[in-house]
Structures are given as structure tokens and as C-alpha cells.
Structure 1
């Protein structure tokens, strides 16, 4: 393995807070639609605030799930299932693209559309990755070095 990229801890926590905030918002909307919603007990406040820490835990778990590995044969990306493998000879270009408020690494394949990697990426404010450019350059360098297949030197007898 030449390199492995994951979400940064800060990105994982921010992602979890987003999920938790959405869950809290859903609980508030559902509680507001129920009859007698004006009298919130202490137990109801726990139900409203419970999705936040659960979201942070899910975001932290997502840090370990969303990763990309680079090796001599190609690129292996993992989201929520098994690893997807792309050989270097199939890759036509590697670029940074803006998608949904983030800068992501897009790997263009000769026979299919682009593959957008889940890590690394660079967002705004707390979702930033200060080393994103370095990671992008490393991915490009590995691709340039391996895209024409393995070029191992021929074995020569010792004299």
C-alpha cells in the first residue's frame, strides 16, 4: 500500500453533527405535529437532544468506513460495502472538482464516467482539510508513476 486517505477527525465530527441536527429537527417536527406538544416533559427533551450524540458517533464510524487506498495495481475505494477497485491503466485523468460546496478528487475513467472519491475532500469552515492539496498531488503522482502498468526492471544474473 502506497497511501491511504480517510476523513479527518474534524470532518467526521462535523458530518455527525449534521446528521444529528437533522435527526433532532425531525424529532422536533414530529413532536410538533402530535397533539399536546406544548407540554414538553424532561423525557421529551432527551428525545429531542439524543440524535446529536448519536450523529457524532455515526460520523466517527464513517471516518473508518470512507477511505481510499493507493497501491501499485490501482485505487481501492470503500464506502459502505466492499472495496471498489480501479486499475491505474483505466484512469485517464485525476482532477479536483467542486461538488455540493466541497472540493473532491475526481478520477476520470476511459470507459466510464468520473469516480468521485469520498476522501480526501475539502469543505468550508470546520469541514476543511488543511492538507488536501498535498493529498491531491500525491494521488496524481502515484497515478503518473503507475498508469502505464508495472515497469519492473528485468532480472539480471549476478556476475
Structure 2
């Protein structure tokens, strides 16, 4: 393995806080819709604050699950499904793109389809990756060094 990329800890925590904030917002909406039971309103603060630590735990788990590995054969990526493998000769371009408020690494394949990597990415002020440019440059350098290295037909397949 030449390199491995994951979400930074800060990105994972911020992502988890966003998920937790959405859960807290849903709890507030549900509490506002339910009829006024005194017992529920006394414990409403628990319903509002409980999703925040749960969201942080989910963000941490997301950091551990999602990763991108570079090796001599190609690129292996995992987000929410099984690992996907792309051989270097199949990649025709690597570049940074803006998607949904983030700058992500997009790997363009021979058929024109982009594969947007889950990590690394650079987000807004809270989930910025200060080393994003270095990571992008490393991915480009590894691709340049290995893209003409195989004489057999490249393939993309899920890994077990």
C-alpha cells in the first residue's frame, strides 16, 4: 500500500454533529406537534440533546469505515458498500471538483464516468482539511507513475 486516506478527526466530528443537529431538530419539531403532556415537556431537553453525542459516535464510525487506498495496482475505495477497485490504466484524469460545498477528488475513468472519492475532501470552515492539496498531489503523482504500468485489460470490480 502506497497511501491511505480517511476523513480527518475534525471532519468526522463535524459530520457527526451535523447528523446529531438534524436529530435534535427533528426532536424539537416532534415535541412541538405532540399534545402538551407535562411529563414529556419536562424531559424535552433530553430528547433535544441526546442525538448530538449519538451523531458524534456515528461520525467517528464513518471515519473508520470510509477510506481510500492507493497501491501499485490501482485505487481501492470504500464508503458505504464493499471495496471497489479501479486499475490505474483505466483512470484517464484526476482532479479536484466542487460538490455540495466540498472540494472532492474526482477520478475519471476511460468510459467518462467520474468516481468521486469519499476521502480526502476539503469542506467549509469547520471541516477543512489543511493537507488536502498535498493529498490530491500525491494521488496525481501515484496515478502518473502507474497509469501505463499494465499491459492487460484494466477492470473495475467489487472486492470481497
TM-score of the two chains, using structure 2 as the length reference: 0.90
The SS at the match of 1:126 is coil
Cα deviation code 1:110-133 (max 9, x no counterpart): 124100001000011111000000
Q: Would you say the 8 A contact 1:31–1:37 is kept in 2?
A: no
Distance (Å, rounded) in 2 between the aligned partners of 1:102 and 1:17: 17
Cα deviation code 1:49-74 (max 9, x no counterpart): 10000000000110011110000110
Return 5+ residue gaps in structure 1 as ranges.
Answer: 152-159
Stretches of 4+ moved more than 4 A in 1?
A: none
Which residue of 2 is the match for residue 83 of structure 1?
A: 83
Q: Would you say the 8 A contact 1:72–1:150 is kept in 2?
A: no
Aligned residues: 150
Cα deviation code 1:121-157 (max 9, x no counterpart): 0011111000000000000000000001259xxxxxx
Q: Would you say the 8 A contact 1:91–1:110 is kept in 2?
A: yes
Give the alignment of 1:129-148 within 5 angstroms.
Answer: 129-148=129-148
Which residue of 1 is the match for residue 16 of structure 2?
A: 16
Distance (Å, rounded) in 1 between the aligned partners of 2:76 and 2:15: 23
The SS at the match of 2:94 is strand
Return 5+ residue gaps in structure 2 as ranges.
Answer: 152-160
Give the greater-gyration-radius structure (CA).
1
TM-score of the two chains, using structure 1 as the length reference: 0.90
Which residue of 1 is the match for residue 108 of structure 2?
A: 108
Displacement of 1:44: 2.4
